Every structure is written in structure tokens, then in C-alpha cells.
Chains A and B, each alone.
Chain A
Amino acid sequence: MSTFLGMPSLAAPGASRRGPAADQTGADRTRVGDDVPHPDAPLRWGETFPDAARAALNNSQLRRNLAHATSTIRAKRAAVVGEVPDWEELRTAGSDLKVRVMADLPALLEEFEKNFTARGGIIHWARDAAEANRIVADLVKATGETEVVKVKSMATQEIGLNEALAAEGIAAFETDLAELIVQLADDMPSHILVPAIHRNRSEIREIFLERMEHTPEGMTDAPRELAMAARAHLRRKFLAAKVAISGANFAVASTGTLTVVESEGNGRMCLTLPETLITVMGIEKLVPTFEDLEVFMQLLPRSSTGERMNPYTSLWTGVTPGDGPQNVHLVLLDNGRTNALADDVGRAALKCIRCSACLNVCPVYERVGGHAYGSVYPGPIGAILTPQLTGSTGHSDPNNTLPFASTLCGACYEVCPVKIDIPSLLVHLRARTVEEDKARHRPTAWGAAMKAASFVMADSTRFATAEKGTAALRLLAGKKKRVTSLPYPGSLWTGARDIPAPPKETFRQWWASTHDDSPTTPEDAS
């Protein structure tokens, strides 16, 4: 099974091992990538960002798919955000509310618990992924069922719930179309909102033909036909399901209400038809009062799918006799959130409402795709959230490279509906990594370069001598006026970026030639 349609190109290009079944379909699709086994840790897949990015950049199909998808959604978002005159005021309120939630988290958690429980819901607390998986598996087993349907949920991705349930003999069926595509292809998600964003329609058609039962004859790759095939496939599951598992977008402390925001109706199916509903939610998802939904239900749909409102939003408060699941559970998950909360700058990452607008505008994400981040949380938000949730295991922890996966262009901050200053958090986390290395007395290339620069720049003669050396760079740059490769340690720079050719003359030379009577160097003149 796992030799077919894996993660795009994390292995070397040209090493594609397409399964025989894929070849039999005879479609003229381009290479969709190489298989990589499912990572054991959904927040730490193993490679450093630069290594994973280098491999991903060789996959031109992935880049085309992403460029198409992200440019489409950017335009949609911009249009529907542009028509809201008080967008900035909404962002400010959203941010303020989330800051307040963090500051009052203990009281709000207890308030939520009291209200949810009073209405017949049952709350479980999980310190980490293993504990959450254990709780959910035991709850499912208690029902006697071996199959569950699932609503798309980042929290359950984060804890690797499907794999944990499989190990206990419980089959979890993803019902969101994109999650279904990812699950059928034995792939990993590459986007928070559209986990199969790295797949184009012809790839999806192939996955369905190969992996889904009862696909209609003559199914083309028209999105409508693909969606209808998924509808037919899942309908039987929905109507028979006894247990469903979901995440939650918001939890209202003052009323004990949970909220799921979705589009397809698969969420409603899971939240309404089964007898037992188990929701897994991070402790930071609270909002203080019901009225606060008026802010977030304006911010989230426009930021995520670029719609004025998503097709369906479900709200439930514990158990409603005679309507919907009668056994309602909620697993409140820490799994590293209190690590992030303890960092007074990093804490801001917990304001995130998982809209994924920052992914869609990020020039780095658009080129490398989600898998390069090695976490179920990719993109700019992933780069600040993942390393905080996991903490660092030491110098060679691949998650330490995530805060460096950015040009700090600031586009993510501009679109963030809850005003998370992602660039500042990236810088903060970079500094933290450097400090940790310092504390371990580990010399870094950065530290060495800074020391060398400080020696050179502290003395005007040394600086003048160094400047002369730039003439050599000019020679190296040649006609393109760019230096594209240098020997070590210069390769640490040129491995990722070019150096523009230095100008013909240095500032000091220019000064000397235009100021006959002045002292030879500007700093002497002061």
C-alpha cells in the first residue's frame, strides 16, 4: 500500500517508485512524488527545514499546484475582506479577546467545564498526545464499535489519533473531502485548511480510482464529479455510524457551547447522526462569552476560505435530549500548550484560530509546500507554533530550524485575523535557539561570523583592508552581477541565496575622490 502516492518528493528527485496499480490507470499525470512512511511524531517528522525544502523545491508539479491554489484563495480572501469596513476593528477585538482568554485561562476553563457538564457533557483532561489517544480509544471501545467517522480536526492530527486508534483495532474514517484524499493516498496533510492542496484534480481522480470503492464509471477529473463520488462513498458510513470524533473551533466558557465551522456537511453528519460524539480540543480554544462569536464568526470564514460565511456552522451545548448524540464527550488537550503559554512573547501563537491565511500569503510556503515544515502545522503559524508545542530536544532538533523558514516579509502578520505578530515571534524564537546554543557553549556559524565582523569593524584600517577584498567578489560575480556559490564557510550563505556584486568603488573611495580637502574617512570627520 505504501508504495503508492506518498508525500511529494521528500526523497531525491528521480527516485520515484510508482506503484504498479498507478501505472495501470495509464493516465498521463506527472510524477506526484515518492512515498515516505507516516512519521511517528505528527509535530516532528525528522528532517530539518532546509533539507526538506531543498527536496521539495525540485518538485515542479507541487509548485504549480500550490501557486494555483494559493493565488486563487488570496484573491478570494482579499475581495471579501475588502468589503468589510470595520475589518481592522474586528481584528483588534479578536486579538484582545484571545489575549484575555490566555490571561484568564484557569478561570475560563473551569467555567466552561461547569457549564458543559451541567448540560450532560463529560469532560476529560489530557496532558499529552498519548493520554488523549488513550482516553479516546477507551471511550470508543466502551461503545463496542470498531469504526468511527471523523470531522476534520487539527487537534486529532496533532496527536496522531488515527494511527493510535488503528493500533487498537479501531478504524477511523476521515469525512472531509481533502482529508479523505490524504487518507486514501496514505499521505500527510500539507495545509491547515485544505490538507490536499498539493494535489491537483487529475491526481485526485487517480487516488479515487485506485483507492475508493464504487467510483462511478467514466468519472472525469471535474471537481463536481469527484465531489459527488466522495458523497456517494461516505453516505453509507454516515448513516451507519455510531461514534464520531471531531475537533472544535470555539468553546464558549459562559455557556459551555462547542462550535464546528465547516463547508461540506460532513461535520453536521458526524455531529448529528451518531449516538456518541467525542471532541478533542486544545485548551486555548475558549472564548469568554457567546456574544464573542460575533467577532470570530466574521473573522474566520473570510480569512480561511475567502467566503462571507462558510456553508455550515454547528453549535452544541452538552446533550440535547432527542436531538443529536446522547453521549457527548470532550477531551481538553494540553500537549505543549502550557509550554507556549509560559513564554510571554511566544504565548501569542496560542491566539491562532487556524484560518491558514498566513500560509496562503507566505512566499516560502507557496514554494516549498506544507510537508517541508515537518509538522501538521505548516507555514508561518506552524513555524512559531510547532517548536513551542514540542520544545527543543537540543541543538540538532529539526524543529529548531522552523523559525528560520521565513524571509520576515510580514505578509502573515498583515492578514492574521487575530493580529499575531508572526515575524516578531519568529525573531524571538530564533534568538531563543541561539541563546540555547550559547548556554550549551556551542559555537555557531552565526556567532563566528559576528565575532569576525566585530573584529574587522572595530578598527578603521582593518575595515578598509576588508573592503578591498570585495573587489574579488566583484570579479567572481561576473556579468550576472551575482555571486551564486562560494567555498565554505561562504557556502553557508550562497547555499540559499545569491550575493549581489559589490559596487565598483567603496564608499570610502567615493568619499575620498569627491572631497579633496576632507579627511580620508567619514568617521574621522566627525
Chain B
Amino acid sequence: MSARSEILHRVRAALDGVTGHQGTLPPVAREYRRTGEHAPGSPGAIDLLVDRLEDYKAHVHRVETDEAVTALVGEVLASHFATLDAETGDAARSVVVPAGLATHWVDGLPSGTTVLTDSREAPMTALELDEVDAVVTAARVAIADTGTIVLDGAEDQGRRAITLVPDVHVCVVRTDQVVDSVPEGVAILAEHPDRPQTWISGPSATSDIELSRVEGVHGPRTLHVIIVQA
């Protein structure tokens, strides 16, 4: 007997006589909240998201217009590059963006910054990405209650590797993408369950040493979230 048939046989034998086997169990009690206190995109939801993200030591910025996103992306990265220059000496700086990102968001970068475009058709290697200083992406949904931003690999969010290897991630979230609760977020993600998803709640962190939290391990050590009014 193949391992597959044998395991399935063992499972069936183990369940022989189980009440409710074959789908006759009572329905799962879903008495928990399916929606949060705040409506999607409402000021209450945004405030909650900001509070949670700051608790994780993410840098949160709020802007009203699309033009302001461009300015802010430039400002945030200029400041980061200045810190890098001070630490490791002047160098040419580069930023990677997914092919489907609104290109004008990176129009305000410091002069001399190289903007690289990555896509599934023309992917950068891990070693190439390791030379890149920062990544700018959009997001699929943000869950305020838990301070979670989810990327699902759509064209404005890109391949998983680009938001992983560079040390700084600037993520632009529209207010109408912000939901209050986990169930509301999962409902949106369930529209495309086959897409590779990355749920991000703050910069990478570890609590493995005496359970004290240290932000910044293997993933991007700095996370900027720009929330723009939809």
C-alpha cells in the first residue's frame, strides 16, 4: 500500500464511529465579531492603525494628496540616505519599485538616485536586491486593529523578494484600504487566495533573547508607512 493510501486508511479507521463524521457536525459557532468598531476608511480606523503601527516602531506619515506622497517619499529617503552617507561614506543610492507602481511616487527622490524596476518577467536576483537601499510599494489592505499591512503580489506591490531584502520599506496605503478588524481584512484577501501574501506588522523583530523585543532582524529594519487620503 502506498503511504498515501495507508495514511488515509489509518485516518478513516481512527474516525470510525466518530459522531458527526462525514460533515454532519453542528455548524461552527461564529459568535465573534465579523466587523470592527470603525467603518473601513473612517478616521477612527486610521487613528487606530497609526497607534498600532507606532507601537511596533514603524514610522507613520499621513498626507492628503497624491502629490504629497511624492514629496514625502523623497523626503523620507533623502533623510535615510544622509544617515547612510554619514555611516558608510557617500555612495550612489538606489531604490527598487514594482513594475506596476505609480511611477510619480518616486519622482521626488534625491538627485542621482537610481530607480530600478522589478517584475516577475524581469526579476532581480537576491544579490542584486542586497545592493539596493530601499523599496517603495503600495499595499492590498491594512488591518487597523492589529497594525497589519498585507501585500498580495499585485503589480503595484511586486514580488515578495523586493520587500524583503532591501533594508528600508516605504509602503503607501490609501485610507480606503484600511479596515478595522482581521475578519474584514481576510474577506478582502479571500478574493485572491492563490496570490502569495505577506502580512507585515511593523519592522522585523525578535523576542528570542529573554523575550525582550528587538526590532530589525532579517527583514527590513525600517518600515515607513505613508497613509494617503483616498
Q: Which residues of A line the B interface, CB within 8 A?
A: 65, 68-69, 72-73, 76, 85-86, 89-90, 92-93, 96-97, 99-100, 102-107, 109-110, 119, 124-127, 131, 175-178, 181, 194, 196-197, 200-201, 204, 223-224, 226-228, 230-231, 234-235, 238-239, 252, 254-257, 263-266, 268-269, 271-273, 283, 290-291, 293-295, 297-298, 301, 305, 307-318, 320-324, 332, 334, 338-339, 341-342, 344
Contact B201 A311 (CB under 8 A): yes
In the complex with contacts A313-B198, A344-B18, A204-B193 CB distance below 8 A? no
Minimum Cβ distance to chain B for residue A512 (Å): 54
Contact B164 A265 (CB under 8 A): yes
Contact A341 B217 (CB under 8 A): no
Q: In the complex, which residues of chain A have a beta carbon less than 8 angstroms from the beta carbon of B91? A: none
Minimum Cβ distance to chain B for residue A339 (Å): 8
Residue of A nearest to B218 (CB): A265
Q: Which of B7, B31, B130 contacts A86 (CB 8 A)?
A: B31
CB-defined A-B contacts under 8 Å, sample of 26: A69-B211, A86-B32, A92-B29, A93-B32, A100-B28, A103-B25, A106-B12, A181-B208, A230-B217, A239-B126, A257-B193, A263-B204, A263-B205, A263-B207, A264-B208, A265-B217, A272-B161, A273-B164, A295-B32, A305-B207, A312-B200, A312-B204, A313-B198, A317-B194, A318-B194, A322-B159
Minimum Cβ distance to chain A for residue B27 (Å): 8
Q: In the complex, which residues of chain A have a beta carbon less than 8 angstroms from the beta carbon of B11? A: 105-106, 109, 283, 338, 341
Instruction: Tell which of B64-72, B81-89, B106-114, B146-154 binds the partner.
Output: B146-154
Contact B32 A231 (CB under 8 A): no
Q: By the criterion of a CB under 8 Å from any partner CB, how many residues of chain B are at the interface?
A: 77
Considering the complex, which residues of chain B in the window 1-29 have a beta carbon less than 8 Å from any beta carbon of chain A?
2-4, 6-8, 10-15, 18, 20-23, 25, 28-29
Q: In the complex, which residues of chain B have a beta carbon less than 8 angstroms from the beta carbon of A312? A: 198-201, 204, 219
Residue of A nearest to B1 (CB): A127
Residue of A nearest to B20 (CB): A103
Cα(A55)–Cα(B167), bound, Å: 46
Q: Which of B29, B52, B127, B207 contacts A96 (CB 8 A)?
A: B29
Minimum Cβ distance to chain A for residue B102 (Å): 21
B interface, by DSSP: helix, strand, loop or mixed?
Answer: loop
Q: Which of A310, A322, A341 contacts B123 (CB 8 A)?
A: A322
Residue of B nearest to A333 (CB): B7
Contact B200 A89 (CB under 8 A): no
Considering the complex, which residues of chain B in the window 139-186 have a beta carbon less than 8 Å from any beta carbon of chain A?
143, 145-148, 153, 159-161, 164-165, 182-183, 185-186
Minimum Cβ distance to chain B for residue A233 (Å): 11
Is B92 interfacial (CB 8 A cutoff)?
no
Contact B218 A235 (CB under 8 A): yes
In the complex with contacts A196-B208, A227-B206, A320-B195 CB distance below 8 A? yes
Q: In the complex, which residues of chain B have a beta carbon less than 8 angstroms from the beta carbon of A92? A: 29, 31
